[in-house]
Amino acid sequence: MTRVVTSLAFAALFTVSLWLAPGSSTVAAQQRGTTARPASRGTTAGTTGSVPRMADGHPDLSGVWWGGSDIGGRRGGGPRGGGRGAPAPTFASLYQPSAAEKAKTLSDKDDPTLRCVPTAFGTLNVRLWDVGAVGQIIATPKFVVMLTETYHGYQIIPTDGRPFRDEVPPAYRGDSVGHWEGDTFVVETKNFTDNTWISAEGRVSFHSDQLRIVERYRRVDANTLAIDAVLEDPAVLTKPWVVPTQTLQLAPFDQILPLNCSGFETQTLIEGAGKLNTNK
C-alpha cells in the first residue's frame, strides 16, 4: 500500500505533465506551450534519417528526448531489459549484505525525492530524466548541457576530455566530464553526496559517496538516441550495475517544462506513508 501513496505523491508533483494515452503527443505538445511539429533537422517524427552533426563533425545530440510518451504513458523505443527468463539485476539487488540489511529499515517515507531532492541516477533508468520522463540536450563543440524538468535540474559537461575539477564540492547529481570516442559521447560522473537515492517512487536505492557513473550516448539516427550506463559503488555493491540499454525518441516539441517542487505538495502524503509503514 505504501507504494500507492508514493505514486500519488509524484502525481501531485507533476500535475503540469499529462498522463497520456499512447499516441497522444499532440496533446502533450499543446500542454507544453507549443504545437506538435515534425522532428528537427527537416525530418518527420517517426522516420529515420542521417545523423545530424555539429560543425566539428561530431554527432549533434541536441533535442528533447522521451520514451514515446509523457509520464504515465506507454513507453516505446527499444529494449527495456529483462524480457523472458530472469529479470535484469537492479542497483538494490546487488547490495552487499550490510547494505541489504540497511535497505530493510527504509521505506517510501524515506524517499528523498519527496523532499525535492533529485535522484543520483533516474527512476526510469535514464539519468537525463531524473524523476520525470522527458529531458533536453543542448550540444555545442565545447559543452553538452543536459536539462531535466525535475527541480530545474541541469548538468554542464565539457567535451574536451579535461579532468574533474578539484574545487567542486560533492553534489546531489555529482560532477561530470565527457569525451568523444568516435561517434559515441562518453560521460563520467562522480563526486556525489550520499543523501540521495538512485531511483524514486519508494524504490529504496541508497548509495555511498563512492558512486561513479559512466554513460555512453549514441545518436543512432535523426530521431533515436541510445544510452548505455554502468554504475559502480564499491562501498555498497558487490559488483557494478550494468543498466539495460535505453533507447529514446526525439519528441514532437522543442522545449521542456519547469516542474517545481516546494515540499508542500507532498507533505500529507509523506505523513500518510509514515502511518502505513507504522501499521503494516
Q: Tell me how far CA of residue 11 lies from CA of 100, 114, 239, in angstroms.
A: 29, 11, 34
What does the pLDDT look like over 137-151, one tens digit per residue? 999 999 999 999 988
Strand residues in the chain grouped as ranges (E)? 63-66, 134-139, 143-148, 153-158, 175-181, 184-190, 212-221, 224-232, 241-250
CA separation for the pair 226, 187 (Å, rounded): 14
User: What are the per-10-residue average pLDDT scores of the chain (280 residues)?
Assistant: 39 37 34 37 48 96 91 50 69 98 95 93 96 95 94 92 92 97 97 97 96 98 98 98 97 91 67 61
Q: Which domain holds residue 273?
A: 2-279
What's the number of domains the chain is made of? 1
CA separation for the pair 157, 216 (Å, rounded): 13
The string of DSSP codes covering 249-270 is EE-SSS-PPPB---STTTHHHH
What does the pLDDT look like over 44-68, one tens digit per residue? 334 457 999 999 999 999 999 999 8
CB 108 within 8 A of CB 277: yes
Residue 89's pLDDT is 94
pTM of the model: 0.78
| Geometric angle at alpha carbon 14, from 11 and 17, rounded to 5° | 110
CA distance between the termini of the chain: 9
In sequence order, which residues have a C-beta less than 8 Å from that of residue 265 and are 6 or more positions away? 9, 12, 13
CA separation for the pair 180, 183 (Å, rounded): 7
